[in-house]
Amino acid sequence: MSKSEFTGHPDAKRPKGNPLAWINLILLSIIVIACNYIGCNEYGRKDLTEEQRYTISERTINVLSSERVQKRETPIRIIFAFKRSTPNYSRMYSLLEEYIRYGKGKIQVECFDPMRQPNRAREISQIYGVDFNQNLCVIDARKDHTISLKTFEEDKSDRKHVRIRPGATFIKYETLPDETKRAVALMMDEVVCSAITEAVEGDMRHMYVVEGKGGVSRDDQELLESIGQITNSLNIQLSWVNIAEVEMLPTNAEGLLIVSPQTDFTDDEMRVVREFWERDGRNTLFVALDPNNTKLPRLYRFLREQGIRPNADRVLLRDRKRAYYDISAVFPKGLNCTRSFWNGTTHVEGQSMSLTLEHGDENMAAIRKLTAYPLLMTTAEYYGETRSDLEPSFTPQEDREGPLCLEAAVTRGNTRDPNNLSTLVVLGNIEMLSKENARTEQRDYMRTLWAWMSHRPEYSGKSANQDLTMKIDLNRHSRNAVEYLTLIFMPLFALLIAFAIWNVRRH
């Protein structure tokens, strides 16, 4: 029988196509196409680094989501003119992509290398009048980005909506003992966010610092730099005022800062303070008290009238034979603008004075619409020592039992009408304002408070992780333990090993 005549087994059936398999194949194709389509339009990013190094700060997200940005007709333009060989370039580029994502169409970012794209660098230079002899970042919040800035004309109103930041400000350096500098933090997110705030608002707000009372002065550059970093990030300009020489504060004053006064105010000076506090509109008072100087009867009387009573004491830890000023504190629930800090902990350096929230006349406080809020509380292990001439020892009959309030706020007016709401913040510790002792969470908290006091709560929030090096934050107990370990126990352990080896060899 030939091969052509073979027809197979008579019981074999010819296979037929399964329609269910075709349906599954079609459905799978539809799912793949749909997933690709959705992924092209809707996508998410996840920062898998442990320190969240590629995530912008909560404050930046609040700024980009604010009405000042989202209700703009034209987007904000960010020109990132950096060399690609710049250290941390990829990290900065990833952060700028986050600006685009959270800006929701209101942020445009252009990245180019001036060395590789000289023609584009020449065009940008003609518009903004800059030279690309260094890395630059331009933030343009004007309505028309193509118009050149007016340099020689008298009308320079468009320049206030443009900010130019050199690349050197993006890195924070630390001076080592051998006088060399080391990069310790990437400040890009903070610098760009502050520049966006300034460019969008244009005109700076004005707050005045009281001088001539023996506290902070123009020569105290360290304290002024620390306060200035917070106020500048909120587009607030600090100016000096001697209230003994003026009848009233300028009309453009949105805030008055009284920092560490050493001499009391006169009746005429307090009249200026009261006039500003009771002025129509939204006015702000910030008072930082020095615990070493409690002889300020007129200023203290004014604070008690508003509902905050400074106590002439020192906040100390119980069961200690010497003064201990490293205080464990908590950010309590209260103001809605500080919600992200609620129940968070921090360590306060330096001497502190406790505050008591009370109104002498509750009916009068209700009439004046005064509301008090605690902002920073100690734990129950601390107490207020009222006598400074004796060794620290808790006495229930004389001292104040914890927890104690270290910082408090008072509002005057209707909270539902923020345009006519005056705010008062009192701080019983001046070290929290110093550049050396203030911690990151404390600076973020102070910035949040000042954003709330200047009626811009959308500029509040925590900052992002900016460290370029590994940093271990230790309290005083941990530092002492490390010192004992490295200076005593480790050398002693090495000495014991050496002695054991010598003893074995001797025998």
Mean pLDDT calculated for residue range 432-438: 80
Domain residue spans in the chain? 58-171, 204-459
pLDDT tens digit sequence for 21-39? 888 888 888 998 888 877 7
The better pLDDT of the pair 359, 314 is held by 314
Q: Which amino acid is at 316?
A: L
Ordered DSSP codes for 435-487: TTT--HHHHHHHHHHHHHHTT-GGG-SPPPP-BSS------HHHHHHHHHIII
β-strand partners of 255? 207, 284
Dihedral in degrees, nearest 10, Cα atoms 296, 301, 303, 305: 180
pLDDT band at residue 367 under the 50/70/90 scheme: confident
pTM for this prediction: 0.77
Give the 3-state secondary structure of 174-197: EECCCCCEEEEEECHHHHHHHHHH
pLDDT tens digit sequence for 150-187? 654 555 567 888 999 998 888 888 777 777 878 778 88
Q: State the CATH class of domain 204-459.
A: alpha beta
Quick check: 145 and 109 in contact, CB under 8 A? no
pLDDT tens digit sequence for 391-421? 777 777 888 888 999 999 999 888 777 778 8
Q: What is the predicted pLDDT for the residue at 140?
A: 93
- Taking residue 327's Cβ as centre, other Cβ atoms within 10 Å add up to 24
Predicted confidence (pLDDT) at residue 331 exceeds the cutoff of 90: yes
489: which DSSP letter? I
Q: What is the predicted pLDDT for the residue at 227?
A: 83
Quick check: 127 and 162 in contact, CB under 8 A? no
**Which residue matches tokens 């080391």?**
182
Dihedral in degrees, nearest 10, Cα atoms 84, 89, 90, 96: -110
Is the domain spanning 58-171 CATH 2.40.50.220? The answer is no
Q: What is the predicted pLDDT for the residue at 151?
A: 55
